[in-house]
Amino acid sequence: MISKTVESALNRQVNRELYSAYLYLAMSACFESANLKGFAKWMRIQAKEEQAHAMKIYDYLLARGGKVSLEEIEAPKVKWTSAGKVFEEVCAHEQKVTGMINNLVDLSMKENDHATFEMLQWFVKEQVEEEEHASAILAQIQMTGDVPGHLFYLDHHLAKRE
């Protein structure tokens, strides 16, 4: 059985992961309106990943006999001025999520909850990848110049994401 403290913290993280999905979906829509279809596809896939992260925690809570408590999801921002600004926000957001995951790991250790600690190791590794991918795209935007004509090659490259 999972402790109420860990259960509550994991429920908050489900909400945060769903917020991340909303945020990335809003970014996808922003790219669609700018006719950057590759960027839009990349963000849409990212949104699906965040939903999967939420469900991983959701399923874990149920497997441990916990109660899932869904709360209102905050509405994300919907407009950005450039691709660079979007990816600056993505980088900052992923760093924030890494902090949240680290806090959950700390809590699981404090609570002597070895099962939750073990489950969270997947998220620790995932956050390394999330930050790496976002920062690499931001660096490429900064190198090419943050204007639609210069972003054509990167847009084409991002469209290939499966």
pLDDT at residue 50 in the model: 98
User: Do the beta carbons of residue 132 and residue 146 sit within 8 Å?
Assistant: no
- Centre a 10 Å sphere on the Cβ of residue 124 and count the other Cβ atoms it contains: 14
Domain-by-domain residue ranges, the chain? 4-158
Return the amino acid letter for 3.
Answer: S
Residue 2: pLDDT band with limits 50, 70, 90: very high
Residues in the chain: 162
pLDDT digits (tens, 9 = 90+) for 10-19: 999 999 999 9
pLDDT at 81 over 80: yes
pLDDT digits (tens, 9 = 90+) for 94-152: 999 999 999 999 999 999 999 999 999 999 999 999 999 999 999 999 999 888 788 98
Q: How far apart are CA 44 and CA 111, in angstroms?
A: 36
Burial, 49: exposed, middle or buried (Cβ in 10 Å; 0-12, 13-18, 19+)?
middle
pLDDT digits (tens, 9 = 90+) for 20-79: 999 999 999 999 999 999 999 999 999 999 999 999 999 999 999 999 999 999 999 999
Q: What is the mean pLDDT of residues 75-86?
A: 96
CATH for 4-158 is 1.20.1260.10
Q: What sign results for the dihedral spanned by CA atoms 27, 29, 33, 34?
A: positive
